[in-house]
Amino acid sequence: MRVLVIEDDTTTADYIAKGLHELGHVVDIARTGRDGLFLALNETFDAIIADRMLPGPDGLSILRALRASGLRTPVLIVTAMGEVEARVDGLDAGADDYLAKPFAFSELRARLDAMTRRGTETSAGEPATLKIGDLELNLLRRSVTRAGQKIELLPTELRLLEFMMRHPGQVLTRTMLLERVWDFNFDPTTNVVDVHVSRLRRKLDAAGLPMIRTLRGAGYMLSADAAA
């Protein structure tokens, strides 16, 4: 994957670039908004990671310019402004995701993955049923079956499963789950995510092989066979 990183802080830019290199991605770095916009418009990237505050045009201006010129490359806005309003502004401007500094690299990686894969998934249209292996979620009837057997889930568990099934085989961090499933834009002191994931896991696994894998220090992943 070729990724453009627009970031004026050298340490942060190198940190991101190094991590992405290790994952086998090709990384281009732009230090100013001008260079970033120029590169984004003239070369082809699979994803763009842009700092919100930049010399020259800022991250949101770049984003608007890209979207105005019809470019649909997934963009992740990274910022020191973690407030909810700032996040909403970013998403309104056409960002695919928004990440507050400071962040763990695993968080950035998970979001980048979710973002780039979502790009290919949404173009296929919205299915009425989500299906992973023998697990099926009917979005209209809000019902779940595994190998034909009905599984009773609480509303929160259902929302959690839906989100995970929309991102199969991807690492989903606790923060991502809190934001998307619970609308919690803060860190709870209790282990909210772990409790619900383990309850969901118990209900799913009762009817077959384990599907949810815990990745230590990173998050969770749903796949047809977690052991594989």
Partner 1 sequence: MLRHSFALRVAGLAAALVVVVCALGFGWGYMRVEGALLTQLDAAIASDAQDLLSDYQTEGPGGLVAGVVDATRRHGALVMLQTAQGTTIAGNIAGAPLGLRGFDTVHVPDGRDLRALGAGLPNGLSLIVAADMAPIRRSAAALTSVLPLAGVVAALAALVLGFVVARRLELRLRAVSDAASAVIAGDLTRRLPESGTGDEFDRLSGTINAVLARVESLVEGLQATTTSIAHDLRSPLFRLRQALESALARPREGEADTQTLEASLVELDSVISTFSALLRIARAEAGLRGAGFMAVDVSDLVGRVCETYAAVAEECGQSLVAEIAPGLTLRADPDLLRQMLANLIENALTHGGAAVAVRVALRQMGEGGVVLIVTDNGPGIPTAEHGRVLQRFHRLDGSRNTPGTGLGLALVAAVAKLHAARLELGDASTGLRVTVTFLATTTAG
Three-state DSSP class for residue 100: strand
> Using the rule CB under 8 A, is 126 a contact of partner 1?
no
Closer residue to partner 1 (CB): 12 or 73: 12
**Residues shown for the chain:** 228
Q: Give, to the nearest 10 degrees, the angle between helix 192-205 and helix 155-166.
A: 80
Considering only 199, 207, 213, 224, the residue that binds partner 1 (CB under 8 A) is 199
DSSP 130: E
> Using the rule CB under 8 A, is 195 a contact of partner 1?
yes
Cα torsion angle, 70, 76, 81, 87, sign: positive
Considering only 43, 92, 185, 202, the residue that binds partner 1 (CB under 8 A) is 185
Considering only 19, 56, 57, 82, the residue that binds partner 1 (CB under 8 A) is 82
Considering only 109, 146, 180, 196, the residue that binds partner 1 (CB under 8 A) is 196
Considering only 1, 53, 65, 192, the residue that binds partner 1 (CB under 8 A) is 192
Binding mask 83-122 for partner 1 (x = CB under 8 A): xxx----------------x--------------------
Q: 10 Å Cβ neighbour count for 205?
A: 14
Judged by CB under 8 A, the chain residues 129 through 168 that form the site for partner 1 are: 154-156
Helix (H) or strand (E) holding 4: strand 2-6
Residue 187: CB minimum distance to partner 1, A: 5
Tokens for 213? Answer: 């894998």
Chain centroid, CA 221 distance in Å: 12
Binding segment (CB under 8 A) for partner 1, from list 48-56, 124-132, 193-201, 220-228: 193-201
Q: Residues 6 or more apart from 75 whose CB is under 8 A from it?
A: 47, 48, 49, 50, 63, 66, 94, 95, 96
What whole-number distance in Å separates Cα of residue 211 and Cα of residue 165?
Answer: 11
Closer residue to partner 1 (CB): 38 or 186: 186
Residue 173: CB minimum distance to partner 1, A: 13
Binding residues vs partner 1 (CB under 8 A) = 82-85, 102, 154-156, 182-192, 195-196, 198-199
